[in-house]
Copies of this chain bind each other. A is one copy, B any other.
């Protein structure tokens, strides 16, 4: 039997995934919302998923800025503190409970805040998946499927690894650490937090909807295009056929709109 280096690599990656699935601790496990699409992709002989995140909300205090020359904001960084991380939208409403005693609201603050303060950031980051493909041809196929359903920030990288990415984000400074008192000072009120929790919930939903769309497109275009066609030919009644045609038409329309919308967004990005 001839050796197949890609299959060997794939087997070892999948073995690792399986071992982390059986690890029941919250840290280190594969994010379970990703499992269906990972399983689907891994059922293809030329593809293997290498890393994933199903989407998450995180809240953290930025790290120490004293020794940094350029005052970058936006990352946790060294000395930063996680206040909250979740992939599960049902955990959103109560995220402040654990450190509520450390919070101070100051919505009418009058001082000028400099970038050297350690800000508290509230972020939504969407689904992302990396897939190693056997060759450029299979990588292209996957890339094109993703682009056709709105994963506009996807791209092929080194070693035929495709990154599937979408642009659904929030990135909001909600307060800062008062280093003298160690209090978490929020410059937004609780209703604002409720509002952005609501927006984040909307992002989670949109994100899940896009994951499902991606699943469907990968299944129909890549995993079993013949089986899909064949089975519908065999089993469907006239009405089912009409319904299928209607759905296909709607899907095409939606994809067209999505493309037009994305083109428009791109154009706006270029020449605002």
Given contacts A51-B270, A75-B265, A271-B27, contact A199 B157 (CB under 8 A): no
Interface membership of A14, Cβ < 8 A = no
Q: Contacting chain B: which of A93-101, A189-197, A229-237, A242-250?
A: A189-197
C-alpha gap A58/B147 in the complex (Å): 25
Asked if B191 contacts A113 (CB within 8 A), the reply is yes
Contact with B along A81-114 (1 / 0, CB 8 A): 0100101000000000000000000011111111
Say which residue of B52, B173, B272 sits within 8 Å of A56 (CB atoms).
B272
Whole-angstrom distance between the alpha carbons of A147 and B108 in the complex?
42
Chain A residues 161 to 217 lying within 8 A of chain B, measured CB to CB, are 163, 165, 168-173, 187-189, 191-192, 194-196, 198-199, 201-203, 205-206, 209
Q: Decide if A19 is an interface residue (CB 8 Å cutoff).
A: no
Instruction: Tell me, in angstroms, the Cα distance from A105 to B128 when the chains sit together.
Output: 37
Closest chain B residue to A155 by CB distance?
B155
Query: Is there contact, CB below 8 Å, between A189 and B70?
Result: no
- Alpha-carbon separation in the docked complex, A202 to B76 (Å): 16
Partner of A202, one of B73, B75, B153, B195: B73
Shortest A50–chain B CB gap in Å is: 10
Judged by a CB distance under 8 angstroms, whether A221 is at the interface is: no
The answer to whether A143 touches B169 (Cβ under 8 A) is no
A269 at interface by CB-CB < 8 Å: yes
Contacts of A125 in B (CB 8 A): 269
Name the CB-closest residue of B to A107: B107
29 CB contacts below 8 A, A to B, read: A27-B272, A52-B270, A53-B269, A56-B272, A58-B272, A70-B205, A74-B168, A82-B272, A107-B189, A109-B192, A112-B195, A113-B194, A115-B198, A115-B201, A115-B202, A125-B269, A136-B136, A140-B158, A147-B157, A153-B165, A154-B155, A155-B165, A156-B156, A169-B169, A170-B171, A171-B172, A173-B196, A187-B195, A188-B192
Which A residues contact B (CB, under 8 angstroms)? 27-29, 31, 51-53, 56, 58, 70-76, 82, 85, 87, 107-115, 119, 125, 128, 136, 140, 143-144, 147, 153-158, 163, 165, 168-173, 187-189, 191-192, 194-196, 198-199, 201-203, 205-206, 209, 265-266, 268-272
